[in-house]
Chain A
Amino acid sequence: MADALRRAGGPLTALAAALALSSLIMLAFHANPLQALAALFQGAFGSEQGVAETLVQTTALLFAGLGVAIAFRAGLLNIGAEGQLAAGGLCTAVAGASLHLNALFEVPLCLIAGAAGGAIWGGIAGFLRARFGASEVITTIMLNYVAFLGSSYLVSGPLRGDANAPETAPISASAVLPPLLADTRLTAALPVALALACALAWWLRRSVAGYELRAVGSAERAARYAGVDAGRVIVQAMALSGALAGLAGATEVLGLLHRFNAGLSPGYGFTSIAVALLGGSDPIGVIFSAFFFGALQNGALAMQALAGVPKDLVSVVEGLVILFMAARWFSKGRTCLRRPAVAADAP
């Protein structure tokens, strides 16, 4: 317990500093930070509907945040969660519209399709890094745009399933994720994400593959000398990272949108970088930080409506959290990732 508290100390201080600085910005524009915070809280937790919506956002951020965190632990910076999410969402939408099976098989198959789409998109970056030493930062950024533009092309052309809007055909009824709470958008995706977080925590700590991943992340050269096939681990880590982001897209499609279109994600993939950092790249920590950012994003609308503070302030808080987590003030000299030089470590 004491250990957990000590580890949470850095993130909590970073968070407090980000909130304090954002309050100053609000004061500069004659807004009342306390009023804004109260409205945000009201929106995020004030009603059953509000709590459910907070958990909906938490779910997507948890999947994607786990993905970014796994890559971090392997010493890799996956900026491409947003693109992997889109790739996964599109694959799931296509599977959901074309398969017509029993829900017992169809839902898992559609989830697998989404994970596979994300895994391929992430795996490409992993392969280019392992084989050619290409910086995964650059390739994932570029692959994001390839995914956005490519999916936009596909849904306005070959995969278009609706005459009025650029989107895929709706998924079949048997592919829809069952709701968790009546009259809310909360689906069974949340328990799946939570179970996955626990499984990943165990996998990282107790399995050989998890150990190798952490070994490559903390000292790639040493891991190589110890006989770890670092290239394979890098490809695996990026594919797993992408698969998790792909699941975020898949569950959005199966639970909420029931089709793929450009409105799939309001930037979950980018927020997930903040989620992973604040969560200390630890799967269990990521659960808490995903919940925090889910509440923040969901409460932002109420903050705008009730307190007149533009909802975009939430992005300012997010940026500041990332910044402060990257600084050494709150991590006592040890950053959660110590990466080898960009592109300078090709085998």
Chain B
Amino acid sequence: MTQGFEVYSNGEEQTMSTLLEVKNLATQFHTEGGVVKAVDGVSYHIDEQEIIGLVGESGCGKSVSQLSVMQLISSPGKIVGGEIIFEDQNLLKYEANGAKMRSIRGAKIAMIFQEPMTSLNPVLTIGRQLTETLELHLGMNGETARTRAIELLSLVGIPSGENRINNYPHQFSGGMRQRVMIAMAISCNPRILIADEPTTALDVTTQAQLLELMKAMVERFHASLIIVTHNLGVVARYAQRIYIMYAGRIVEAGTTKDIFANPRHPYTIGLLKCIPRLDEEKGRKLVPIEGLPPNLINMKATCAFAPRCSTGSKRCSTDPWPPLTHIGNQHYVGCFLNDEEKKSELSA
């Protein structure tokens, strides 16, 4: 079953180098109502064999930033600036639908989507869809591709693949379909797997299984994993580093430990206050963040979180959005509240 998937042991000593670096990415949608700055100067990076989390509310630009990396933004959306450096090449230099970009999509960077129920073509068998990717990128054909597809299915925990391969997507449950999606995504041995809210549409038991599966797969294939989610709990266990996004910007970045133990941005603190924790004192009430995420049309240059922020200062409504500042080991925060006084006030 493991045939064809060489697993070589690479020691812990291997130095991790940056695999993907996104610099100042900006993606805008020109709508009738005005310009929507869905992604506004986002920078992040992912190292080899690293798992990172990208967390934020709905509509904060998480998915758009990932689709921008794949150059899958369609009109009226447009990537207006920034660089996406992958394996020393700037992906934005390539034409969105050109051969070069297509050879990266699916083969080097693969993506898993939110809705397993609709992410598979209903009129093709899953075997056909699995082998298609193999034919496209690895030049496999006929029996070879079929054998590999069956192997992939058993790898993602779908038994009797030789029968299931002839099934249509509607004969699979949501969790099983997401497994098929994972099998498709890893089929060409990608360097990076982007999971865009991979478990949102599934029930909790399946969520855990699939996250474990994804982790196992990226470990096996020595790939990196970007988990895009609105659920801090999902990334807490798997991600090494977390990026918190708000209104198209990254407001805080740091190791998972730092984010959970020492959150510095009021938004991150708010997010953490509204999820239950096992290690908390008894009787703590969950505190929601007041208000709604801002409409991204024609936004002001000031901090978009200020209207919902409980600790805002005068500067927040006058000065432009604070840049990310380094505040410790891999920990960055984009907020004016950096003095000790405010910090203690927040954590109280």
Tell whether A and B belong to one assembly.
no
